[in-house]
Structures are given as structure tokens and as C-alpha cells.
Amino acid sequence: MSELNKIVLKQSANELSVYTPGHSCYLEQIRTLVCALTRKIGFPEDEVAKIEIAVDEVCSNIIQHAYAAGAKWCWPDRSPEIRMNLRVKQNQLIIAINHHGASFDYAACCPKSIDVRLQELHPDGYGIFIIRKFMDEVGYTSSATTGNTIHLIKHLPACPPPTHPEIAARAYELYVQRGRRDGHAWDDWLQAQAELTQRSGIRLPLTEESGRALIETPQCQ
């Protein structure tokens, strides 16, 4: 599906898929897309930074460890690749990062406490802690047919309830739409309230086209 040495973006319904070669020179493009998407969804900048780093950690681990020379890849005949799928469902941002390198169960791994590592000034071993700390849920699936997938979930920022003037304005629109016929004020009000309450069902705000405009294929060394 992807072309060698190129970033490929695909959009379907409410999902955006990003395919990149499994090389570290593509990390910046991946982060750029993730930041743009999460900002458009409405995450505050602190959370954008956390999601960015969690995704970067997962991809870095895949490149550095799963696709390491000598590692036991799921599909050894294919070039290293990272396949990322982003979607919004039930007030959650769901990021699935798939690869076919060596399997490693993030969800089952229990790293040493980061406080201990920091106190001892270990220079490495922080990745999994960062992923878990910065995402709300982390899952992992692996099979010979689908490869390895790390699932990252972040709850969307709380959407404030609609205000009285917002409901009134929408109810008036509904009244106009029905030909200004009286007798349905309460129905219009309830419908307006229901529509505005459901607005947190955000569509993925980054299209294939707008995502492509953000990035260009890096010159890898």
C-alpha cells in the first residue's frame, strides 16, 4: 500500500492513516501531523505536547528496537514501515501504530519506577514510562497476520455544555426552517439542545489534503 521512501496519507470516513518508512528521519513528519491533528481537535497545548511525545516514543522504539538488525521481524521480507491510524470515536482520540518488526508487549511491560531511574541518573529506559504517563490508555496486539499494533488512547478535552443563547439561536433556526409555524417551540428547543450537546462528536479535522500540505518527504541520510 505504501510507496518505498515516501510518506503516504489515506483518509477514509473518520480515519486518517499515515504510512512512513521505518526510519528515524521521518519522526519529525509524524510529530508534525500528530500535533496539527490534536490542536485542531481542541487539545490544550500541554496535552498536544504529551501526545506528540508518546507517539514519538512508540515510533522511536519501533525503529530502534523492533526493526533492529538481527531482531526477529514478523514479516522479514518487507522493508521497515510504520503504519499509523488516527480516529476519533466516543470522545476518544485513538491512535493505532502498526509495524511488522519484532514484537514487544508495551502493555505488559513494567519498567522500573522513573523516580528511581532519575535519582540514579540512568540515561535511558524512560520511553515506556513516558508513553503510559502521557496517554490515558495503552494497549498492544500482535499476530502473524496483522503484525504488531500499539494502541494509544487519549480522552478528548471536555466539551462545555451549550449555553442558553446558543440553544435559543439554534431553536430559532429550526423554527425558521419549519416555516415559522408556531406550536413547536418546545420541540425546537429540545432538538437544538440535543444537537448542540452532541457536538463533541468531533469529526477528524485533518484531511489527507491538509495533512499532506504540512509535511514533505525528508532527505534521509
Partner 1 sequence: MSNFRLSQETRGAVTVVQVAGSLDLETYPRLENLLTAQFQQPHATVLLDCKNLQSIGSMGLGGLIKFTNQSRAQGEDRKLVNGPERVYKIIASLGFTRVRQVDSPEDEGRASITNPRNCDE
Measured from the CB atom, the residue of 119 and 177 that comes closer to partner 1 is 119
Q: Which of residues 43-102 bind partner 1 (CB under 8 A)?
A: 45-46, 49-50, 52-53, 56-57, 60, 63-64
**118 part of the interface to partner 1, by CB under 8 A:** yes
Measured from the CB atom, the residue of 129 and 175 that comes closer to partner 1 is 129
**8 part of the interface to partner 1, by CB under 8 A:** no
Q: In the complex, what is the shortest distance from the CB of residue 81 to partner 1, in angstroms, rounded to a whole number? A: 16
Backbone CA torsion sign across 36, 161, 136, 117: positive
Give φ, ψ of 138 to 5 degrees.
-135, 130
Measured from the CB atom, the residue of 110 and 121 that comes closer to partner 1 is 121
Residue type, 82: I
Do residues 79 and 119 touch, judged by C-beta distance below 8 A? no
**119 part of the interface to partner 1, by CB under 8 A:** yes
By CB under 8 A, which span of 72-80, 93-101, 166-174, 211-219 interacts with partner 1?
211-219
- Measured at the alpha carbon of residue 99, what is the angle toward residues 96 and 102, in degrees to the nearest 5? 130
Residue type, 144: A
Q: In the complex, what is the shortest distance from the CB of residue 71 to partner 1, in angstroms, rounded to a whole number? A: 16
Q: In the complex, what is the shortest distance from the CB of residue 63 to partner 1, in angstroms, rounded to a whole number? A: 6
Specify the 3-state DSSP secondary structure of 81: strand
Q: Measure Cα distances from 130 to 22, 27, 61, 181, 215 in Å.
A: 21, 17, 12, 58, 25
Q: Within 10 Å of residue 17's Cβ, how many Cβ atoms?
A: 19
Among 94, 114, 168, 214, binds partner 1 (CB under 8 A): 114
The alpha carbon torsion through 1, 205, 150, 130 (nearest 10 deg) reads: 140
Measured from the CB atom, the residue of 58 and 204 that comes closer to partner 1 is 58
**28 part of the interface to partner 1, by CB under 8 A:** yes
Do residues 84 and 17 touch, judged by C-beta distance below 8 A? yes
What does the binding site for partner 1 look like in residue numbers (CB under 8 A)?
24-25, 27-29, 31, 45-46, 49-50, 52-53, 56-57, 60, 63-64, 114-115, 118-119, 121-124, 126-127, 129-130, 133, 215-219
